[in-house]
Copies of this chain bind each other. A is one copy, B any other.
Amino acid sequence: MENRITQLFEIKYPIIQAGMIWCSGWELASAVSNAGGLGIIGSGSMYPQILQEHILKCKASTVKPFAVNVPLLYPDIDKHIKIILDEQVKIVFTSAGNPKTWISIFKDHGVKVVHVVSSSKFAKKAEDAGCDAVVAEGFEAGGHNGREETTTMVLIPLVKNAVHIPVIAAGGIATGSAMLAAFALGADGVQIGTRFAASIESSAHDAFKQKIISSEEGDTLLAMKKVVPVRMMRNKFFDEIQQAEDRGATADELKQILGRARAKKGMFEGDLDNGELEIGEVSAQVREIKPAAEIVEEIWQEFIKGKEKLAAM
């Protein structure tokens, strides 16, 4: 199957592995790219030098295209972008900020830019700024999230209707059936986080991976809405946040509880009680830790079989 996303990125399957802090380093990104999807290095949890190492190792591990995800509010953003350009990374996924600020420098260097949005308004802005595609990410997605709380089911048709550039659906997608659902809604590709966070090649702590595959419905919720909405797993730390929110804590009080390096503590160091465990609702569907290549192939086969089943209906 060829479509606008496979053509844009020169990949085999329109399956993109989300850039995730503490989960998606060079090992995961290169494994996904080698399997025919698009792997993404998540730079949000990396110091500039670490990012450079990951890019170099990724280049050494795959000849296929891969991307780097850049949260635009990252403090050392200039250094990150310099490294991306110096190392001639060809695809960048930007998030959490305005792509307009950086798009011309990327475009001048022939870098394809995809921006992550949670509303059709921001999708339109990304298109107007010159982005090559958007990721439309629904309420069910893990990590940072939009204030409108629009779910993938509702969001994809709205974004599709608002822009001409290709739309990559994200949030709640871990299987070929969900990929097919996203395509039925008008998506040209899917971005998958949670399922790959629990892959062999994910750099997440094994305790966190185990927590993902044993989690159930309702085990993640959107919290920290007064600061920035983040979907995370229920645990001791989450309960502290929720209790504070229930009694009407201010943004400053919440920031105090959040403290520093909570995501690293939970996702990378495996402190399941005190760490911040960013993950999507779809974790309730993920039951096994598998190699990334197997995940890509499984999703693709399910997608094809689902397509045939629907057609025969």
Seen from chain A, the residues whose Cβ lies within 8 Å of a Cβ on chain B are 1, 3, 119-121, 138-140, 147-155, 157-158, 171-173, 175, 177-178, 180-186, 217-218, 221-222, 226, 246-249, 281-282, 284-285, 306-308, 310-311, 313
Contact = CB atoms under 8 A, between A and B. Distances in A.
Nearest to A139: B151
Contact of A222 (B138, B149, B185, B249): B149
A149 B218 contact: yes
B172 A313 contact: no
Contacts of A158: 217, 284-285
A310 B147 CA distance: 32
Contact of A307 (B119, B138, B177, B311): B311
Given A153-B181, A184-B184, 9 more contacts: A140-B153, A151-B151, A154-B282, A154-B284, A157-B177, A177-B185, A183-B310, A246-B248, A307-B313
15 contacts: A119-B218, A120-B217, A139-B151, A149-B221, A150-B218, A151-B152, A153-B172, A154-B282, A154-B285, A157-B178, A177-B185, A180-B184, A181-B181, A181-B185, A307-B311
Contacts of A185: 177-178, 181
Choose among A120, A121, A157, A217 the residue with the greatest number of B CB atoms under 10 Å from its CB.
A217
Nearest to A219: B148
The copy count of this chain in the complex is 2
Nearest to A140: B151
B157 A173 contact: no
A211 B311 CA distance: 37
A148 B306 contact: no
Nearest to A182: B181
Contact of A151 (B138, B147, B175, B226): B138
Contact of A310 (B120, B184, B246, B282): B184
6 closest Cβ contacts across the A-B interface?
A248-B248, A148-B218, A153-B172, A311-B311, A181-B181, A180-B184
Contacts of A154: 140, 172, 217, 281-282, 284-285
A163 to B, nearest CB: 14
